[in-house]
Amino acid sequence: MAKITTKIDLYDKLLQKYKEIVLLNNISMLAYWDLETYIPSKGVEQRSEEVALLSGLLHERQTDPEIGQLLVEIKNHKEYSNLSEFEKRNLELIQRDYDQQTKVPKELVTALAKQTALAYETWKKAKEESNFGLFEPFLVEILDLVKQTANYIDPSKDSYDVLLDLNEPGFTREIIDKLFIELRDGLIPIIQACVKSPKQPDVSVLQRHCSESVQLNIATDIAKIIKYDLEAGRIDPTAHPFTTGFYDDVRVTVHYDENDFTNSLYGMLHEGGHGLYEQNLPRKYKYQPIGFYCSMGIHESQSRFIENIIGRSSEFWEFYLPKLKTLGKGIFDDLTLEPLVFALNEVKPSKIRIFADPVTYSMHIIVRYEIEKELFAGKITVADLPKVWNQKMKEYLGVTIENDAEGVLQDSHWAGGSFGYFPDYALGNIYDGQLLWKMEQDIPSWREEIKKGDLSKIVNWMITNVHQKGNLLQPLNLIKEITGQELSTKYYLDFIKKEYSKYFAL
Ligand code: ZN
For residues 493-499, average pLDDT: 98
C-beta neighbour count of 204 within 10 angstroms: 9
- Cα distances (Å, whole numbers) of residue 411 to 101, 307, 423, 503: 26, 22, 14, 31
Q: In this structure, are residues 310 and 458 in contact, taking their beta carbons and an 8 Å threshold?
A: yes
- Distance of CA 441 from the midpoint of ligand 1 (Å): 26
User: How far apart, in Å, are the Cα atoms of 289 and each of 91, 97, 277, 480?
Assistant: 8, 10, 15, 21
Give 293 Cα–ligand 1 centroid separation in angstroms.
13
Kindly give the pairing relationship between strand 243-246 and strand 249-254: antiparallel
Average pLDDT score over the chain: 96
CA diameter of the chain: 77
The catalytic residue positions are 271
Query: What does the alpha-carbon distance between residue 146 and residue 504 come to, in Å, rounded to a whole number?
Result: 44
Q: Is the pLDDT of residue 364 over 80?
A: yes
Q: What backbone phi and psi angles, to 5 degrees, belong to 235? A: -125, 120
pLDDT at 6: 56
Over residues 52-71, mean pLDDT: 93
pLDDT digits (tens, 9 = 90+) for 3-32: 445 567 899 999 999 999 999 999 999 999
pLDDT over threshold 70, residue 153: yes
Q: Global pTM?
A: 0.95
Please work out, in degrees rounded to the nearest 5, the angle formed at the alpha carbon of residue 434 by the alpha carbons of 433 and 435: 95
Query: Residue type at 121?
Result: E
- What is the β-pairing status of strands 243-246 and 233-237? unpaired
Residue 296 C-alpha to ligand 1 middle, in angstroms? 9
Average pLDDT value for residue range 232-245: 95
pLDDT tens, 94-105?
999 999 999 999
Q: Which of 292, 263, 302, 247 shows the shortest CA–CA distance to 431?
A: 302
Ligand 1 center to 243 CA (angstroms):
8
d(CA 205, CA 495): 26
Q: What is the DSSP letter of 237?
A: E
| Among the ranges given (108-117, 158-167, 219-228), the one the predictor scored with the smallest mean pLDDT | 108-117
Residue 51: CA count within 13 A, CB half-sphere: 16
Beta-strand ranges (E) seen in 218-375 are 233-237, 243-246, 249-254
Q: Phi and psi dihedrals of 147, rounded to 5?
A: -60, -45
pLDDT of residue 3: 47
Spatial separation of the C-alpha atoms in residues 194 and 504, rounded to whole Å: 6
DSSP string for residues in 296-322: HHHHHHHHHIIIIIITTSHHHHHHHHH
The yes-or-no verdict on residue 299 having pLDDT over 80 is yes
Distance 356 CA to ligand 1 centre (A): 14
CA of 56 to the centre of ligand 1 (A): 27
What is the Å distance from ligand 1's center to 303 Cα? 6
Q: Residue 27 carries which side chain, given as an amino acid letter?
A: I
| CA 274 distance to own-chain centroid | 8
Rounded to the nearest whole angstrom, what is the distance from the C-alpha of residue 272 to the centroid of ligand 1?
10
Integer Cα distance of 177 and 488 in angstroms: 12
Give the separation between CA 315 and CA 453, rounded to whole angstroms. 9
Ligand 1 centre to CA of 242 (Å) is: 7
Cα–Cα distance for residue pair 431/362, rounded to 1 Å = 13
Distance 43 CA to ligand 1 centre (A): 28
> How confident is the model over 424-444, as pLDDT tens digits?
999 999 999 999 999 999 999
Distance from Cα 8 to the centre of ligand 1, integer Å? 38
Amino acid (1-letter code) at residue 10: L
Residue 243: φ, ψ to 5°: -125, 140
Strand pairing report for 233-237 and 249-254 = parallel
Identity at 377, one-letter amino acid code = A
- Partners of 246 in beta bridges: 249
